């Protein structure tokens, strides 16, 4: 039995290579079944994200070369090309790697939470494919448990480290109840899309997306149950907006001081939280001079992100220690399970010998034999049979010079302890 974690990630391979080694959702089940059929892998799971593609295996022979060859062949890469950027972790190191990945300690953004969900999906797909067995199943459950402990007991995931999430976190500080807030998002690019999703997750029910083209805004609005409008219609919605976040490619400001002043009058000076993520700026800097407006620039957010990254790095050491504890506990349980199998086999053997001697004694009793003699014979026969195999093996080991094994046997049978200790 051996565990292997094998793959590539953002540290070892370029985007071009990672794209070629990625597995699509539609490929997963078939790929897992092929992997178990064409290699020595008895159990397998595949984690494939934009930053990594990894295989987690319980394998009969801990030789990774045939797995690497399979991976290269599956994605039509040369083996040398893949070998140059791949890493292989085995047994305890494989367990540690999986737990570090799940806890966000191996991510591009330290402590990012999405990876745990992605790993849970990988586990679910492998179960669907029938390639998860008892060993890998136990490892995944231990991994999830350790990652949860890291999330619960450290601050590694508490502070936002993306501009989009930092913006939403600042909004949450100003408006304690985001459920009753309305958001106006200006633009429909990648950053605004992330902002919109974060706001939606935080409970903002009313979101308006304003963009130069209605088509782009409508696509994002449909995803979140929001309203799509043109930039020209923005003044009608500004006064109802508690949160305004802008990120466009415009070369000129889209929102001026005058428009915000008029909106504030309509709002009766109810506070507005505004974030300008665009470079050049979408919101005139003078807007920040207005009472009841909290205006943040992208530089302000970067400062927040930088401080939060420092905080996460400080928490990373505690997280590593928790991962170490998780690895130790899992490996200990694994060793205990190995002992259980041996003990089960030993008990079955002893019970078979017991039954044989008992049947012999019962036959002698039925034939009118002396009970005292029969009991003595039963005890003697059972003792001799139980001691026979260990005695033969110890003599053999002694003849071979295996003094270490004899010392272990002495410890196993507690022969160093006096009668009073036993």
Q: Which residues make up each annotated binding site for substrate?
A: 49-52, 107, 112-114, 118
| Euclidean distance between CA atoms 353 and 360, whole angstroms | 11
The gap from C-alpha 368 to its chain's centroid, in whole angstroms, comes to 70
Q: How many CA atoms lie within 13 A of 238 on its CB side?
A: 26
Q: Are 275 and 194 in contact (CB under 8 A)?
A: no
| Euclidean distance between CA atoms 279 and 285, whole angstroms | 12
| Euclidean distance between CA atoms 71 and 58, whole angstroms | 16
Those residues whose C-beta lies under 8 Å from the C-beta of residue 76, and which sit 6 or more positions away, are: 20
| Euclidean distance between CA atoms 375 and 419, whole angstroms | 24
Strands lying side by side in the sheet with 182-186: 227-230, 206-211, 182-186, 243-246, 272-276, 293-297
| Euclidean distance between CA atoms 243 and 247, whole angstroms | 13
Helix, coil or strand: residue 315: helix
| 50 counts as catalytic | yes
Where is the binding site, in residues? 49-52, 107, 112-114, 118, 187-192
Q: Are 166 and 308 in contact (CB under 8 A)?
A: yes
Q: Are 129 and 33 in contact (CB under 8 A)?
A: yes
Q: Which of 87, 84, 4, 1 is nearest to 44 (CA)?
A: 4
| Euclidean distance between CA atoms 62 and 1, whole angstroms | 8
Helix, coil or strand: residue 297: strand
| Euclidean distance between CA atoms 183 and 121, whole angstroms | 32
Check 15, 19, 37, 50 and give the catalytic one. 50
Q: Among all residues, which ones are annotated catalytic?
A: 50
């Amino acid at each position: 039995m051996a565990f292997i974690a094998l793959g590539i990630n953002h540290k070892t391979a370029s985007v071009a290579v990672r794209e070629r080694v990625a597995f699509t959702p539609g490929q997963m089940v078939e790929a897992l079944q092929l992997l178990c059929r064409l290699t020595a892998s008895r159990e397998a799971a595949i984690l494939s994200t934009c930053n990594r593609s990894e295989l987690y295996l319980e394998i009969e022979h801990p030789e990774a070369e045939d797995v690497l060859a399979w991976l290269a062949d599956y994605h039509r890469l040369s083996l040398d090309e893949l070998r140059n950027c791949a890493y292989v972790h085995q047994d305890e190191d494989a367990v540690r790697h999986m737990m570090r990945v799940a806890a966000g300690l191996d991510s591009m953004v330290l402590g990012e939470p999405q990876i745990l969900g992605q790993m849970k999906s990988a586990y679910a797909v492998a179960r669907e494919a029938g390639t998860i067995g008892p060993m890998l199943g136990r490892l995944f459950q231990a991994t999830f448990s350790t990652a949860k402990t890291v999330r619960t007991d450290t601050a590694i995931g508490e502070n936002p480290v993306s501009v989009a999430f930092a913006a939403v976190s600042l909004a949450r500080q100003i408006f304690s109840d985001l459920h009753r807030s309305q958001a106006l998002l200006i633009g429909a690019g990648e950053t605004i899309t992330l902002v919109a999703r974060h706001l939606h997750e935080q409970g903002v029910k009313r979101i308006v997306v304003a963009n130069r083209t209605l088509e782009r805004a409508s696509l994002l609005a449909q995803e979140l149950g929001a309203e799509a409008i043109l930039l020209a219609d923005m003044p009608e919605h500004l006064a109802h907006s508690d949160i305004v976040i802008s990120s466009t490619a415009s070369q000129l400001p889209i929102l001026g001081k005058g428009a915000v002043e008029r909106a504030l009058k309509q709002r009766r000076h109810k506070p507005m939280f505004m974030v300008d993520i665009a470079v050049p700026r979408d919101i005139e800097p003078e807007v920040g001079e207005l009472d009841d407006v909290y205006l943040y620039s992208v530089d302000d957010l970067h400062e927040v992100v930088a401080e939060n990254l420092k905080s996460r790095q400080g928490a990373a050491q505690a997280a590593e220690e928790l991962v170490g504890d998780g690895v130790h506990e899992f490996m200990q349980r694994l060793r205990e399970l190995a002992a259980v199998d041996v003990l089960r086999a030993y008990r079955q053997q002893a019970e078979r010998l017991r039954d044989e001697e008992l049947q012999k004694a019962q036959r002698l009793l039925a034939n009118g034999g002396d009970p005292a003699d029969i009991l003595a014979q039963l005890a003697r026969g059972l003792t001799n049979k139980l001691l026979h195999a260990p005695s033969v093996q110890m003599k053999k080991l002694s003849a071979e010079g295996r003094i270490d094994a004899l010392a272990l046997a002495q410890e196993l049978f507690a022969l160093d302890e006096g009668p009073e200790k036993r």
